[in-house]
């Protein structure tokens, strides 16, 4: 899969096992294939392309994925060991209100190049059923990480799953995250603010913080999701061409993310006496951001757990593998109660080579 932070194509080789309804996993091999400057530009601007250019990009990106998977299989000696490929692709258009979403990466091209079955288009059925098409990760949170009350993913967009017991899940996009932090770091010629070092040296810009918090998205209730464009718009008005220092803007935006995470927890309380939160995604490695979130959650007595690096960096790819496995078995893999769809669904198109 590829996330909105555009740091590259994540590939994970995962072993999944189900015994009497209990799932377990092992992440055996992982790679993140960095994008060239040209691919980063194309993916960022895909929604504005003409229809012919967009369709060509869809095919080309499928071929990029197929070639990357073949190289991954060769690099890790996985010939004849892979059962199928579950491909999320890269979201370039998302308007669930119009029942439309699109993740590029042509599944037929992947199947043709790899000679393996491919499951793609994982969000489309949910959107067709009136859902947000996001988040789709909560099925993995329930089946693979059911011992946590809260599961926060700090990717390009921060999203949270709240597991309230009795298989009741609430999940939604919280706010923009790494896609804004990384864009700010690029002002200093860096792909990211490693460990939040620049943010830690900055000061809080109270006016910017207030403007960010006033966005209408934060006053809507779940189910709700953020498109890449909407996430950018939240920050654009106050960060674009800003004369404030990068350090101060990074510090303020980390503060904003922590505030919105705390607000999400406050809106979705759980009854557990000892509440736990699993934090994954690239933002989990931003020590300054994690410290800010911990500070906000102390009053709610929520204990934070940052797991091993493979789970931190590849949890979403792991869940895409699970979603693929459930689709292969023709079982529910997207929860309508989370997305707002009219029912649960078994999403994904199957391409046989």
The mean pLDDT values, 10 residues at a time, for the chain of 353 residues are 88 97 96 95 94 97 98 98 97 93 97 98 97 92 95 94 83 94 93 96 96 93 86 81 92 97 95 92 96 97 96 95 98 94 97 95
Cis peptide before 109 (omega within 30 of 0): no
pLDDT of residue 35: 96
Contacts of 141 (CB under 8 A, 6+ apart): 148, 151, 161, 163, 169, 171, 319
Judged on CB neighbours under 10 Å (0-12, 13-18, 19+), 70 is middle
pLDDT of residue 167: 72
Rg (C-alpha) for the chain, rounded Å, is 19
Domains of the chain: 9-133+313-351 (3.30.420.40), 138-311 (3.30.420.40)
pLDDT of residue 138: 93
186 secondary structure, DSSP code: H
Question: How many beta carbons lie within 10 A of that of residue 82, not counting itself?
Answer: 16
Please give the Cα distance from 174 to 122 (Å, whole number): 21
Structure tokens at 159: 């999203």
pLDDT of residue 288: 98
Please give the Cα distance from 182 to 202 (Å, whole number): 16
Q: Are 250 and 202 in contact (CB under 8 A)?
A: yes
pLDDT of residue 85: 98
pLDDT of residue 336: 93
Contacts of 19 (CB under 8 A, 6+ apart): none
């Amino acid at each position: 899969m590829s996330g909105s932070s555009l740091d590259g194509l994540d590939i994970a080789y995962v072993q999944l096992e189900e015994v009497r309804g209990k799932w377990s996993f092992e992440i055996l091999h992982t790679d993140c294939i960095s994008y060239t400057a040209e691919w980063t530009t194309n993916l960022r601007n895909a929604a504005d392309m003409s229809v012919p250019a967009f369709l060509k990009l869809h095919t080309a990106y499928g071929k990029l994925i197929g070639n990357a998977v073949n190289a991954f299989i060769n690099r890790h000696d996985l010939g004849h060991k892979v059962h199928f490929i579950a491909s999320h692709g890269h979201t370039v258009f998302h308007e669930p209100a119009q029942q439309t979403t699109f993740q590029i990466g042509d599944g037929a091209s992947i199947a043709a190049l790899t000679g393996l079955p491919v499951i793609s288009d994982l969000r489309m059925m949910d959107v067709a059923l009136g859902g947000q098409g996001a988040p789709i990760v909560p099925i993995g949170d329930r089946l693979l990480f059911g011992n946590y009350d809260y599961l926060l993913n700090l990717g390009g967009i921060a999203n949270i799953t709240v597991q309230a017991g009795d298989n009741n899940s609430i999940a939604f996009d919280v706010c923009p995250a790494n896609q804004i932090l990384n864009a700010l770091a690029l002002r200093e010629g860096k792909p990211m603010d490693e460990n939040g070092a620049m943010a830690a040296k900055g000061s809080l810009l109270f006016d910017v913080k207030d403007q960010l918090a006033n966005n209408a998205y934060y006053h809507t209730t779940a189910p709700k999701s953020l498109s890449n464009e909407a996430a950018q718009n939240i920050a654009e008005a106050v960060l674009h061409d800003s004369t404030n220092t990068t350090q101060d803007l990074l510090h303020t935006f980390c503060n904003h993310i922590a505030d919105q995470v705390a607000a999400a927890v406050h809106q979705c309380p759980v009854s557990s006496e000892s509440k736990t939160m699993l934090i994954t995604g690239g933002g989990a490695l931003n020590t300054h951001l994690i410290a800010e979130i911990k500070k906000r959650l102390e009053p709610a007595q929520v204990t934070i757990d940052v797991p091993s690096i493979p789970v931190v960096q590849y949890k979403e790819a792991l869940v895409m593998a699970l979603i693929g496995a459930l689709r292969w078995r023709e079982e529910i893999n997207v929860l309508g109660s989370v997305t707002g769809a009219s029912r649960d669904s078994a999403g994904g198109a199957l391409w046989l080579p």
